[in-house]
Structure formats: structure tokens, C-alpha cells
Amino acid sequence: MIFKNFVDNKTRGVFKGEVYAVNPTEDSILGVKCYPTLRKIPGEVEIVVVVVPANVVPDIMRDAAAKKVKTAVIVSSGFSEIGNHELEEQVVEIARQAGIRVLGPNCLGVYDSRTGVDMLFLPETKVLSTGDEVIATPRPIPGSIAIVTQSGAFGVAALDYLTGRQIGVSKFVSFGNKCDVKEAEVLHYLLHDNETKVILMYVEDIKNGRDFIEVAQKVTRKKPVIAFKSGRTAAGARAAVSHTGALAGSDKIYDAVFKQTGVVRANNMEEFFDMGKALAMQPPAKSKNVGIITDAGGPGIMAVDECDLRGLNVMRLSEKTIGKFEKMKEEGKLPQFASGLNPVDITGSGTDAMFESVTKILFEDPEVSGIILLGLHHTPAVQEEYIDKVASFACWSDKPIVACDIGETEMAIRTRSTFDRLGIPAYSSPEDAARAMDALVRYGLYLQKKGAMEGYMDTFIQNRKKKYCITK
């Protein structure tokens, strides 16, 4: 499967390198000449993907050493994850002596849509016993989010999730047992990877904490890192031990390390992806002051609850801003019973024009550092024009905005995807939108503390203009 991925991507012109098959008993694989050993390959070999039974891996590594290979990705399992520590140690020792860097073992390797590097042994489709061929492990569209994962299974699940949600991925790295290359090395690489703007990292434990702290601090000044560490409860930690054999240490230590290094921690799967999407699309917030706009009272309250629980400040708006809303009411541009407090509730009589004006007013209010826009499409007069309008001025602002529409049928899905397409991350519940804003606030406060806000913001705004803004 892995070999086929490379051959196919080469045929399609995406993978530009050479690809060789090595197998002692075959003459050719997929019509490509097969070499009996690594040593017999005529040219230089940069990277070896190892997919053989665990006990044969040391021999392959010796061949790789002789061939002066730089990197090995060991997909094979059967090492320390099932107690075979000695075998893993043997592999590490061969690699160390030969200067080969190793990813794995027991991993899914690397996926990079732009270069055609696809080490995933899981085919995109699965043929069911009914004869139906269904998409099972889709490859995501190219994008700016890197996925770094200790769990291969969760990694492919993440690719499946992100593909369905139309969120693009820059690089995917599954490092399994981490016998050599660990979080620190991968983060360091991604810091310098131009395609990657945001890093999503799933871990069960972090080895070499000191290296991690050092690198993470450098990376988070330039790119947001969101970490999802499972095993955060005592029971979860016990389960993690039985899964990877790793002693994860106290969760409080991880919490402290993430805080110190500016890594935004997600507490569950959905938060992980929601936060990643927010930080990929919007600039960080400069303070905890959040303005909420809604056309539905109940969902407005839900958003306030979630903000308050997370320490965000849904404060009373300034007299100046409230005055602007009062003026709109006088001019008949906002219903008399609309609320100019926070949430700003344009009510069920709301229109696209009201959403546009009110959002603009909050963008102009210097006390508001982030905007949550709850644009429930059920309100009779609400169409979809306001989305374009809001996006057109959001795109020139350094203030973050996130959106929400509730529903799982046509117009709700269409509304959210229009927001997404125009660079405003949209969510399907008020609480999800508030969690996304929380990530933007936490990252913004960290950057400011480190004096790194301005630099980050300049780069972010520049990149965003290229991608989303219609030139004025």
C-alpha cells in the first residue's frame, strides 16, 4: 500500500523523487523493479520506509547503515509497545552508530499532500462485504495545519475528521514509540516549515521534557501549538500506561509545562479541532474582553455561560458603543426591543443589514478584543449577504471573530461553510464558538506577555490578506 501511494503519486507528477522497492523474493512490485536488499539499489537513498516483521528490522537497519541512509521510518510494530524493549534498543543503537534518524517504530509515518509523500498503509477506500466501496481513510486537502500524533489510530481519525470538515493539512507526522525522533525535533522542523501555520499535537506522554520546553517556547512565538494530552485523570493515566507502556507523570506537570511554553491545551477531541481551526483562520485576541452578537436570545446566553466559565469577560459595552445602537434604534435601523448590552441581541426581527452594522460597530470598539457572531439562519429576514460583508471588514482587522449557526440541514451547513470559506471559523454550537474564542484569547495573552504579539500579528495579517481579502 505504501509503495503504491508513492508510485501513484509519482505517476500523477506529485512525488518528484525516485522510489525503489526492496524485497528478497519478488522481481518487481506494481511493475517496478524490486531489489533484493537496500545495498543493491544503484543510487543514493535518502529515506527508508520499513514495513517488515519486527525481528527483521535490525537487519534492514544494518543495510541502511551500509547504504548511508539518513532517515528511517519504521512502521512495523512489535517493539516496546508490547514489551520488546531490547529489540527496540538494538535498532536505536544501530541507528545511533550510523547517524540515521528514526521515526517510529509502531507508527504511521508521514503524509504530505504537496510533495506526494504518503506513508499511510491504510487505503483511502475500503470494500465492504456488500461490495460497496466507501471512503474510509481520506487524505485531507492541502492546508496550514500540521498534525503531530503519538497515536496512529487517532491520527487517521483526525485526518478523516478534518477532511470531512474541509480543514486543510500541511503535514501529518505519526511517531508511535518515539525511539529517536520526538516532539521536540518535529516541532523544530515545523517551526521552519512554510506551509505550516498551526500545529496540532496529540500526546500521551512527552519524553525529554527539557528539549520539549526549549523548542516549544521558540515555536509558540511564531506559530500556535495546540496540545491534546490524554490520560489527564488518574484512570486515564493508568489506561495510557497499558497502551504505550509510558509513565506519563502527573497531569499537573503537563499543565504547567504547557502554560509556561505558551502551548494552548485542549481538553477533549472536539476542542482540539475547534481550537486548531480558530487559530489557523483568525488572529489572536489582545484581551479577554469579548463582544457577542446574536439574533437569538437563548444561544446568546449559552455563549456567555461558556465564556464566563473559561474566564473570558463578556463585559458591558462602552457608553459610546451603546449610543451607536440607540442611534440605530432612533433611525429605525434596529428594533426598539433589541438589546445593546452584551450580548447585542438584534432579535428575531434581525436582518442582514443589522448584523452587518452591529458587527462593524463592535469591530470599531477598542474595548472589544474578540467577537462571537451567532448568526442563526432561522430568523425570518436573515439571508446570507451579511456574511460577505462581515468577512470583508473582518479581513482587514487585527481583531478575531468566530461564528456559529445551529442546525444540521441545508441552510445551517451552507451558512457555516460560507463563513469558513471567507476565513471566519464557524461552529455548530454557541459553546464551541466560545471555546474557539478562548483559544484565541489564551494565545494572544501569551504572545503579549512574551512581547511577541506584534511580530506574529504582522505575519498573520499579511498572510491573511493574500488569502482572503479583496484588494480595496
Site for a copy of itself in 374-433 (CB under 8 A): 376-380, 383-385, 406-414, 428-432
b or e along 382-420 (b: 16 or more beta carbons within 10 Å of the residue's beta carbon)? beeebbebbbeebbeebbbbbbbbbeeeeebeebbebbb
Of 41-49, 152-160, 277-285, 387-395, the window that binds a copy of itself (rule: CB under 8 A) is 152-160
Q: What cell does 370 get?
A: 474578540
**Which of 27, 304, 30 lies closest to 19 in space, CA to CA?**
30
Nearest residue to 187 (alpha-carbon basis) of 114, 139, 256, 258: 258
* Cell digits of residue 402: 468566530
In the complex, minimum distance from the CB of residue 139 to a copy of itself, in angstroms, rounded to a whole number: 10
Site residues for a copy of itself, 114-143, by CB under 8 A, read 121-122, 126, 128-129, 134-138
Nearest by Cα to 257 from 229, 223, 221: 229
Q: Between residues 112 and 432, which has the closer beta carbon with respect to a copy of itself?
A: 432
Identify residues 163-192 at the interface with a copy of itself (CB under 8 A). Answer: 163-165
Q: Which is nearer to a copy of itself, 10 or 139 (CB)?
A: 139
- The reply to whether 270 sits near a copy of itself by the rule CB under 8 A is yes
| Beta bridge partners of residue 226, listed in sequence order | 200, 264
Strand order in the sheet with 28-29: 21-22, 32-35, 28-29
From residue 65 to residue 94, the character string flagging contacts with a copy of itself as x (rule: CB under 8 A) and all else as - is ------------x---xx------------
Cβ neighbours of residue 303 closer than 8 Å, sequence gap 6 or more: 292, 294, 314, 343, 372, 374, 404, 430, 431, 433, 434
Mark the segment that binds a copy of itself (CB under 8 A) among 238-246, 325-333, 386-394, 462-470.
238-246
Specify the stretch interacting with a copy of itself by CB under 8 A; choose among 4-12, 87-95, 298-306, 318-326: 298-306
Shorter beta-carbon distance to a copy of itself: residue 238 or 449: 238
- Rounded distance between C-alpha atoms, residue 80 and residue 410, angstroms: 49
Contacting a copy of itself (CB under 8 A), which of 88, 118, 180, 204?
A: 204
Q: Does residue 157 bind a copy of itself (CB under 8 A)? A: yes
Based on CB atoms, which residue is closest to a copy of itself, 193 or 270? Answer: 270
For residues 194 and 336, which CB has a smaller minimum distance to a copy of itself in the complex?
Answer: 336
- Among 313, 412, 390, 411, residue whose Cα is nearest residue 346: 390
Does 4 participate in binding a copy of itself (rule CB under 8 A)?
Answer: no
